[in-house]
A = this chain, B = another copy of it.
Amino acid sequence: MDIRDIARLSGYSLGTVSRVLNDNPGVSDRARERVLQVVRDVGYEPNTNARHLKMRGRSSSYAIIVKGMQNMLFTDIIEKAEGLFAQADEEVRVHFVDEDADEAARAAHLDKVRHPKGFLFLGGTPRHFIEGLSEISVPCVLLTNTAADWGLDTLSSFTTDDASAAESVIDYLWEMGHCRIGVIGGNWVSEVSARRLEGVERAFRARGVTFDRERSYEPCRFSMDEGYQATMRLLARSGDLTAIFALGDVIALGALRAISDQGYRVPADISLVGFDGLDVSQYCVPRLSTVRQDTGLLARRGVEALMAAVEGRGTPAHEFVPFRLLRRESVLALRM
Protein backbone atom coordinates (compact mmCIF):
# COMPACT_ATOMS: atom_id res chain seq x y z
CA MET A 1 0.00 0.00 0.00
CA ASP A 2 1.71 3.15 -1.14
CA ILE A 3 0.93 6.61 -2.34
CA ARG A 4 0.30 5.37 -5.89
CA ASP A 5 -2.44 3.11 -4.61
CA ILE A 6 -4.03 6.05 -2.92
CA ALA A 7 -3.73 8.02 -6.12
CA ARG A 8 -5.38 5.27 -8.10
CA LEU A 9 -8.11 4.68 -5.54
CA SER A 10 -8.92 8.35 -5.17
CA GLY A 11 -8.77 9.13 -8.84
CA TYR A 12 -6.24 11.87 -8.30
CA SER A 13 -2.61 12.03 -9.19
CA LEU A 14 0.25 11.07 -7.01
CA GLY A 15 1.26 14.71 -6.63
CA THR A 16 -2.13 15.75 -5.38
CA VAL A 17 -2.22 12.98 -2.84
CA SER A 18 1.17 14.00 -1.56
CA ARG A 19 0.02 17.59 -1.23
CA VAL A 20 -3.01 16.55 0.77
CA LEU A 21 -0.88 14.40 3.01
CA ASN A 22 1.45 17.29 3.69
CA ASP A 23 -1.27 19.85 4.21
CA ASN A 24 0.03 21.85 1.31
CA PRO A 25 -2.08 24.70 -0.02
CA GLY A 26 -3.33 24.57 -3.52
CA VAL A 27 -5.58 21.58 -3.25
CA SER A 28 -9.31 21.72 -3.79
CA ASP A 29 -11.49 20.80 -0.84
CA ARG A 30 -13.03 18.07 -2.90
CA ALA A 31 -9.69 16.49 -3.70
CA ARG A 32 -8.60 16.83 -0.08
CA GLU A 33 -11.70 15.15 1.27
CA ARG A 34 -11.64 12.38 -1.28
CA VAL A 35 -8.00 11.57 -0.66
CA LEU A 36 -8.30 11.71 3.11
CA GLN A 37 -11.28 9.43 2.85
CA VAL A 38 -9.34 6.82 0.93
CA VAL A 39 -6.38 7.16 3.26
CA ARG A 40 -8.60 6.46 6.22
CA ASP A 41 -10.41 3.63 4.51
CA VAL A 42 -7.30 1.68 3.71
CA GLY A 43 -5.33 2.75 6.76
CA TYR A 44 -2.50 4.07 4.70
CA GLU A 45 0.61 5.39 6.42
CA PRO A 46 3.27 7.16 4.38
CA ASN A 47 6.69 5.57 4.26
CA THR A 48 8.87 7.70 6.50
CA ASN A 49 12.02 6.54 4.83
CA ALA A 50 10.97 7.73 1.44
CA ARG A 51 9.64 10.90 2.94
CA HIS A 52 12.80 11.72 4.82
CA LEU A 53 14.91 10.77 1.89
CA LYS A 54 13.28 13.55 -0.06
CA MET A 55 12.85 16.07 2.67
CA ARG A 56 16.42 15.75 3.75
CA GLY A 57 17.19 18.54 6.13
CA ARG A 58 13.80 19.56 7.29
CA SER A 59 13.14 16.76 9.68
CA SER A 60 10.31 16.74 12.05
CA SER A 61 11.40 15.71 15.47
CA TYR A 62 13.60 16.49 18.41
CA ALA A 63 15.95 14.08 20.11
CA ILE A 64 16.66 13.66 23.80
CA ILE A 65 19.95 11.97 24.60
CA VAL A 66 20.09 10.50 28.08
CA LYS A 67 23.15 9.19 29.84
CA GLY A 68 22.12 6.09 31.75
CA MET A 69 18.73 4.52 32.24
CA GLN A 70 18.61 4.23 35.98
CA ASN A 71 18.91 7.90 36.81
CA MET A 72 15.58 8.82 38.36
CA LEU A 73 16.28 12.50 38.19
CA PHE A 74 16.61 12.11 34.45
CA THR A 75 13.45 10.06 34.04
CA ASP A 76 11.64 12.81 35.81
CA ILE A 77 13.04 15.47 33.50
CA ILE A 78 12.38 13.35 30.42
CA GLU A 79 8.72 12.96 31.23
CA LYS A 80 8.36 16.68 31.77
CA ALA A 81 10.25 17.55 28.62
CA GLU A 82 8.17 15.10 26.61
CA GLY A 83 5.05 16.79 27.89
CA LEU A 84 6.36 20.16 26.84
CA PHE A 85 7.26 19.00 23.36
CA ALA A 86 3.87 17.38 23.03
CA GLN A 87 2.19 20.64 24.02
CA ALA A 88 4.11 22.42 21.30
CA ASP A 89 3.03 19.70 18.89
CA GLU A 90 6.58 18.58 18.35
CA GLU A 91 7.74 15.00 18.11
CA VAL A 92 10.50 13.73 20.36
CA ARG A 93 12.58 10.60 20.43
CA VAL A 94 14.39 9.55 23.56
CA HIS A 95 17.75 7.85 23.10
CA PHE A 96 19.53 6.24 26.01
CA VAL A 97 23.28 5.86 25.93
CA ASP A 98 25.52 4.10 28.37
CA GLU A 99 26.77 6.01 31.37
CA ASP A 100 30.25 6.23 29.91
CA ALA A 101 29.38 6.28 26.21
CA ASP A 102 30.17 9.26 24.01
CA GLU A 103 26.88 11.10 23.89
CA ALA A 104 28.15 13.74 21.47
CA ALA A 105 29.34 11.13 18.99
CA ARG A 106 26.02 9.37 19.26
CA ALA A 107 24.22 12.63 18.62
CA ALA A 108 26.47 13.39 15.66
CA HIS A 109 25.55 10.04 14.21
CA LEU A 110 21.85 10.59 14.76
CA ASP A 111 22.24 14.01 13.28
CA LYS A 112 23.46 12.46 10.05
CA VAL A 113 20.97 9.66 9.80
CA ARG A 114 17.83 11.16 11.29
CA HIS A 115 18.29 14.88 11.02
CA PRO A 116 16.44 15.85 14.17
CA LYS A 117 15.64 19.49 14.72
CA GLY A 118 17.74 19.69 17.84
CA PHE A 119 19.21 17.77 20.72
CA LEU A 120 18.41 17.92 24.40
CA PHE A 121 21.13 16.27 26.43
CA LEU A 122 20.55 14.90 29.91
CA GLY A 123 23.98 14.67 31.40
CA GLY A 124 27.17 15.12 29.44
CA THR A 125 30.91 14.84 29.59
CA PRO A 126 32.89 17.97 28.71
CA ARG A 127 35.49 16.12 26.67
CA HIS A 128 32.86 14.50 24.46
CA PHE A 129 31.21 17.80 23.74
CA ILE A 130 34.40 19.71 23.18
CA GLU A 131 35.61 17.13 20.73
CA GLY A 132 32.36 16.26 19.05
CA LEU A 133 29.93 19.16 19.15
CA SER A 134 31.21 20.63 15.91
CA GLU A 135 30.01 17.49 14.13
CA ILE A 136 26.45 18.30 15.10
CA SER A 137 24.64 20.58 12.73
CA VAL A 138 21.62 21.48 14.84
CA PRO A 139 21.10 23.35 18.12
CA CYS A 140 21.92 21.56 21.36
CA VAL A 141 20.93 22.12 24.96
CA LEU A 142 22.52 20.43 27.94
CA LEU A 143 20.68 19.86 31.20
CA THR A 144 21.99 19.17 34.74
CA ASN A 145 25.51 20.16 33.81
CA THR A 146 26.81 23.60 33.00
CA ALA A 147 28.74 24.07 29.80
CA ALA A 148 29.59 27.67 30.61
CA ASP A 149 33.32 27.06 30.58
CA TRP A 150 33.56 24.72 27.64
CA GLY A 151 34.03 27.45 25.10
CA LEU A 152 31.26 26.10 22.89
CA ASP A 153 29.04 28.63 21.21
CA THR A 154 26.33 26.38 19.85
CA LEU A 155 25.43 24.82 23.16
CA SER A 156 23.17 26.16 25.87
CA SER A 157 23.01 24.69 29.32
CA PHE A 158 20.68 24.81 32.29
CA THR A 159 21.53 23.38 35.61
CA THR A 160 21.27 23.65 39.33
CA ASP A 161 24.06 25.68 40.85
CA ASP A 162 25.66 22.57 42.29
CA ALA A 163 28.37 24.38 44.17
CA SER A 164 26.00 26.78 45.90
CA ALA A 165 23.55 24.04 46.64
CA ALA A 166 26.21 21.90 48.25
CA GLU A 167 27.43 24.92 50.11
CA SER A 168 23.97 25.52 51.49
CA VAL A 169 23.82 21.95 52.71
CA ILE A 170 27.00 22.39 54.70
CA ASP A 171 25.76 25.74 55.99
CA TYR A 172 22.56 24.08 57.10
CA LEU A 173 24.36 21.26 58.87
CA TRP A 174 26.69 23.75 60.49
CA GLU A 175 23.78 25.83 61.71
CA MET A 176 22.35 22.71 63.26
CA GLY A 177 25.52 22.32 65.21
CA HIS A 178 27.38 19.85 63.03
CA CYS A 179 31.02 20.38 62.23
CA ARG A 180 32.33 16.87 61.88
CA ILE A 181 30.71 16.23 58.52
CA GLY A 182 31.51 13.40 56.15
CA VAL A 183 30.81 13.57 52.42
CA ILE A 184 30.20 10.67 50.05
CA GLY A 185 29.58 10.32 46.34
CA GLY A 186 31.05 11.16 42.98
CA ASN A 187 34.69 12.07 42.68
CA TRP A 188 36.94 15.08 42.14
CA VAL A 189 37.02 14.58 38.41
CA SER A 190 33.47 14.12 37.24
CA GLU A 191 31.95 17.50 36.57
CA VAL A 192 28.82 17.51 38.62
CA SER A 193 30.17 15.96 41.77
CA ALA A 194 33.37 18.00 41.53
CA ARG A 195 31.30 21.15 41.65
CA ARG A 196 29.32 19.92 44.60
CA LEU A 197 32.57 19.16 46.35
CA GLU A 198 33.80 22.63 45.53
CA GLY A 199 30.75 23.98 47.29
CA VAL A 200 31.50 21.83 50.29
CA GLU A 201 35.04 23.12 50.50
CA ARG A 202 33.90 26.68 50.04
CA ALA A 203 31.45 26.38 52.90
CA PHE A 204 34.12 25.06 55.20
CA ARG A 205 36.59 27.66 54.11
CA ALA A 206 34.09 30.38 54.87
CA ARG A 207 34.26 29.19 58.44
CA GLY A 208 38.03 29.09 58.51
CA VAL A 209 38.06 25.32 58.43
CA THR A 210 39.72 23.12 55.83
CA PHE A 211 37.67 20.21 54.57
CA ASP A 212 39.84 17.14 54.98
CA ARG A 213 39.48 15.30 51.69
CA GLU A 214 41.46 12.33 52.87
CA ARG A 215 39.61 11.74 56.04
CA SER A 216 36.12 13.03 55.49
CA TYR A 217 35.38 12.12 51.90
CA GLU A 218 34.57 8.84 50.19
CA PRO A 219 34.01 8.77 46.45
CA CYS A 220 31.45 6.42 44.92
CA ARG A 221 29.16 6.08 41.94
CA PHE A 222 25.53 7.14 42.11
CA SER A 223 23.93 3.93 43.29
CA MET A 224 22.50 2.62 46.53
CA ASP A 225 24.99 -0.15 46.62
CA GLU A 226 28.02 2.07 46.24
CA GLY A 227 26.52 4.58 48.66
CA TYR A 228 26.25 1.78 51.16
CA GLN A 229 29.85 0.69 50.70
CA ALA A 230 31.21 4.21 50.80
CA THR A 231 29.38 4.92 54.01
CA MET A 232 30.76 1.77 55.55
CA ARG A 233 34.28 2.82 54.68
CA LEU A 234 33.74 6.30 55.92
CA LEU A 235 32.25 5.16 59.18
CA ALA A 236 35.08 2.69 59.74
CA ARG A 237 37.62 5.44 59.29
CA SER A 238 35.98 8.36 60.97
CA GLY A 239 33.90 7.23 63.88
CA ASP A 240 33.30 10.69 65.23
CA LEU A 241 31.15 12.04 62.39
CA THR A 242 27.88 13.63 63.42
CA ALA A 243 26.60 14.12 59.90
CA ILE A 244 26.96 12.80 56.38
CA PHE A 245 26.24 14.62 53.16
CA ALA A 246 25.53 12.26 50.28
CA LEU A 247 25.96 13.88 46.88
CA GLY A 248 22.88 12.12 45.56
CA ASP A 249 19.62 10.84 47.07
CA VAL A 250 20.27 7.38 45.75
CA ILE A 251 23.59 7.37 47.54
CA ALA A 252 21.86 8.66 50.66
CA LEU A 253 19.49 5.70 50.57
CA GLY A 254 22.47 3.38 50.71
CA ALA A 255 23.98 5.48 53.46
CA LEU A 256 20.81 5.30 55.49
CA ARG A 257 20.96 1.55 55.40
CA ALA A 258 24.67 1.44 56.19
CA ILE A 259 24.33 3.75 59.15
CA SER A 260 21.55 1.59 60.45
CA ASP A 261 23.60 -1.56 59.94
CA GLN A 262 26.36 -0.05 62.00
CA GLY A 263 23.92 0.30 64.84
CA TYR A 264 23.54 4.05 64.54
CA ARG A 265 20.30 5.90 64.04
CA VAL A 266 19.40 8.72 61.72
CA PRO A 267 19.24 11.43 62.87
CA ALA A 268 19.75 10.63 66.57
CA ASP A 269 23.34 9.51 66.10
CA ILE A 270 24.16 10.69 62.63
CA SER A 271 22.39 13.26 60.52
CA LEU A 272 22.07 12.71 56.79
CA VAL A 273 21.45 14.97 53.82
CA GLY A 274 20.97 13.96 50.22
CA PHE A 275 20.89 15.77 46.89
CA ASP A 276 18.36 15.80 44.02
CA GLY A 277 15.01 15.76 45.76
CA LEU A 278 13.79 12.52 44.29
CA ASP A 279 10.32 11.38 45.15
CA VAL A 280 11.65 8.61 47.32
CA SER A 281 13.46 11.05 49.59
CA GLN A 282 10.22 12.07 51.19
CA TYR A 283 9.06 8.53 51.74
CA CYS A 284 12.05 7.06 53.48
CA VAL A 285 12.11 6.84 57.23
CA PRO A 286 13.23 9.32 58.40
CA ARG A 287 12.27 11.71 55.63
CA LEU A 288 15.46 12.76 53.95
CA SER A 289 16.70 16.34 54.02
CA THR A 290 17.96 17.11 50.56
CA VAL A 291 18.47 19.66 47.83
CA ARG A 292 15.55 19.70 45.47
CA GLN A 293 16.54 20.22 41.88
CA ASP A 294 13.69 21.83 39.99
CA THR A 295 13.18 19.24 37.28
CA GLY A 296 10.10 21.00 35.98
CA LEU A 297 11.89 24.26 35.43
CA LEU A 298 14.99 22.54 34.12
CA ALA A 299 12.86 20.79 31.52
CA ARG A 300 10.96 23.94 30.63
CA ARG A 301 13.98 26.20 30.22
CA GLY A 302 15.76 23.53 28.25
CA VAL A 303 12.93 22.82 25.86
CA GLU A 304 12.16 26.51 25.37
CA ALA A 305 15.75 27.38 24.66
CA LEU A 306 16.08 24.50 22.24
CA MET A 307 12.94 25.34 20.32
CA ALA A 308 13.97 28.99 20.24
CA ALA A 309 17.38 28.10 18.87
CA VAL A 310 15.85 25.89 16.22
CA GLU A 311 13.67 28.77 15.13
CA GLY A 312 16.66 31.04 15.03
CA ARG A 313 15.57 33.03 18.05
CA GLY A 314 17.66 33.59 21.15
CA THR A 315 21.32 33.05 21.67
CA PRO A 316 23.17 30.28 23.53
CA ALA A 317 23.10 30.82 27.26
CA HIS A 318 24.16 29.10 30.43
CA GLU A 319 21.80 29.50 33.31
CA PHE A 320 21.29 28.27 36.81
CA VAL A 321 17.84 27.15 37.77
CA PRO A 322 16.85 27.80 41.41
CA PHE A 323 17.12 24.93 43.85
CA ARG A 324 15.54 24.47 47.23
CA LEU A 325 17.05 23.07 50.41
CA LEU A 326 14.47 20.73 51.89
CA ARG A 327 14.89 20.55 55.66
CA ARG A 328 13.23 17.35 56.74
CA GLU A 329 13.67 14.75 59.44
CA SER A 330 17.09 13.32 58.77
CA VAL A 331 18.99 16.15 60.41
CA LEU A 332 19.20 16.62 64.16
CA ALA A 333 19.85 19.95 65.81
CA LEU A 334 22.80 19.39 68.12
CA ARG A 335 22.76 21.06 71.49
CA MET A 336 26.00 22.93 71.66
Contacts and interface: CB of A to CB of B under 8 A. Distances in A.
Contacts of A56: 49
Copies of chain A in the complex: 2
Contacts of A45: 109, 112-113
How many A residues touch the partner, as a band?
20 to 34
User: Which interface residue of A53, A94, A224 has the most chain B CB atoms within 10 A?
Assistant: A53
Given A48-B113, A49-B52, A53-B47, A253 B79 contact: no
Nearest to A285: B260
Interface in A272-309: 279-280, 282-285, 287
Contacts of A109: 45
Contacts of A257: 282-285, 287
Contact of A283 (B52, B70, B253, B287): B253
Nearest to A44: B112
A110 to B, nearest CB: 10
Contacts of A225: 279
Contact of A78 (B50, B69, B253, B287): B69
A228 interface: yes
Describe A's contact surface by its main secondary structure: helix
A256 interface: yes
Contact of A96 (B52, B94, B114): B94
A23 B48 CA distance: 26
Contacts of A260: 285
A254 interface: yes
Contact of A49 (B49, B224, B279): B49
22 contacts: A47-B53, A47-B113, A48-B49, A48-B114, A49-B50, A49-B53, A49-B56, A49-B113, A53-B53, A69-B75, A69-B79, A70-B75, A94-B94, A253-B283, A253-B284, A254-B283, A256-B283, A256-B285, A257-B282, A257-B283, A280-B280, A284-B284
